[in-house]
């Protein structure tokens, strides 16, 4: 697989990353054995940047990765590992509280390292900002963790460009993570450019639009009680049906080129900048292999123009998040 540099002075990683959110049951129940096969396939395909969080399945996602490292000696050295902290989420509840205090972040980091079975992580994100606390203080906390050798770099998630710049003045930011895909292009309003100019990796989550671009979400799909898409404006009617209808020309575009819709979506993201690394999430080995194949797909200028025509900016019906889901994410643009 082609590689990219993870931040200006960072290591080389596979251009396609791996998101382990679904290991925690956010998109339906996960099978532990299949999750392990997915991780093995990631290494086999050169998908070396792995992304997780302490709140994915209340630590289950991290535990799955830790088990893989334990069962496969030497695998840790082949993986560029990122996790996150800063969100308090009571078990069995969707309630979220944000805590970026040095004490809380230290506690969550230590717990993550234990679940993962590692001495350090390559990138540690503030999963959501606690807006009552200056980001400069948070950056200083992260700098302390770096000095202690617990993390190699730090990142910010769901933040505005000016927040990145403020944090960067205290200690260089390694990565910024926000949603980015053909149906969520908000980062083009300054965030992608800020990351590029400062030498920061931009990590694109939900690059296949929570399954829509993979073709796995169809009319009549019923989402489980704890499925993130349940109650999301883009996945509720009448928006859901309209969005699926809008996607049909895109599916035809992929079919005409004998590639999958997910591969087109991911390949498109790779054209948006050399500092961008998508992290499609899946719990299936077959999907990991499919996603990795997108790194070899080349889209011509004519292809890109056609994609802009059939899926113009702002085509998606409904807000990206519900009012509750939006809490903690910074708005800009």
Q: Known catalytic residues?
A: 56
CB 141 within 8 A of CB 102: yes
Q: Helices 102-116 & 60-71, crossing angle to 10 degrees?
A: 40
3 state DSSP class of 226: coil
Name which of 212, 225, 174 is nearest 317 in CA terms. Answer: 212
**N-term to C-term CA, the chain:** 34
Distance between CA atoms of residues 275 and 186, nearest Å = 17
Q: What is the CA radius of gyration of the chain?
A: 19
3 state DSSP class of 238: coil
3 state DSSP class of 49: strand
With residue 203 as reference, give the H or E element that holds it. Answer: strand 201-205
Distance between CA atoms of residues 75 and 77, nearest Å = 5
Name which of 84, 96, 26 is nearest 57 in CA terms. Answer: 26
Distance between CA atoms of residues 137 and 206, nearest Å = 29
């Amino acid at each position: 697989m082609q590689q990219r540099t993870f931040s200006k002075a960072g290591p080389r990683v596979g251009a396609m990353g791996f998101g382990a959110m679904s290991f925690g049951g956010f998109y339906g129940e996960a099978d532990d054995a299949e999750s392990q096969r997915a991780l093995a396939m990631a290494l086999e395909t050169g998908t070396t940047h792995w992304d997780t969080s302490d709140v994915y399945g209340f630590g289950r996602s991290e535990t799955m990765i830790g088990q893989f490292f334990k069962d496969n000696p030497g695998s840790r050295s082949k993986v560029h590992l990122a996790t996150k902290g800063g969100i308090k989420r009571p078990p069995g509840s969707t309630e979220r509280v944000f805590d970026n205090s040095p004490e809380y972040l230290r506690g969550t980091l230590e717990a993550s390292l234990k679940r993962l079975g590692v001495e350090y992580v390559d990138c540690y994100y503030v999963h959501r900002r606690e807006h009552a606390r200056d980001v400069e203080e948070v950056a200083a906390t992260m700098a302390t963790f770096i000095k202690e050798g617990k993390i190699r770099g730090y990142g910010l998630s769901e933040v505005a460009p000016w927040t990145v710049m403020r944090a960067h003045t205290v200690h260089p930011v390694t990565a910024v993570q926000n949603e980015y895909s053909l149906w969520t292009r908000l980062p083009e309003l300054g965030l992608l450019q800020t990351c590029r100019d400062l030498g920061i990796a931009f990590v694109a989550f939900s690059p296949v639009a929570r399954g829509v671009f993979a073709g796995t979400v169809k009319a009549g799909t019923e989402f489980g009680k704890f499925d993130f898409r349940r109650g999301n404006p883009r996945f509720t009617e009448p928006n859901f049906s309209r969005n699926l209808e809008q996607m049909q020309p895109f599916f035809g575009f992929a079919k005409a080129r004998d590639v999958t819709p997910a591969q087109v979506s991911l390949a498109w993201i790779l054209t948006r900048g050399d500092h961008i690394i998508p992290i499609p999430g899946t719990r299936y080995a077959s999907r990991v292999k499919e996603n990795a194949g997108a790194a070899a797909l080349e889209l011509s200028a004519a292809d890109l123009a056609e994609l802009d025509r059939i899926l113009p900016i702002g085509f998606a019906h409904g807000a990206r998040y519900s009012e509750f889901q939006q809490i903690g994410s910074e708005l800009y643009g």
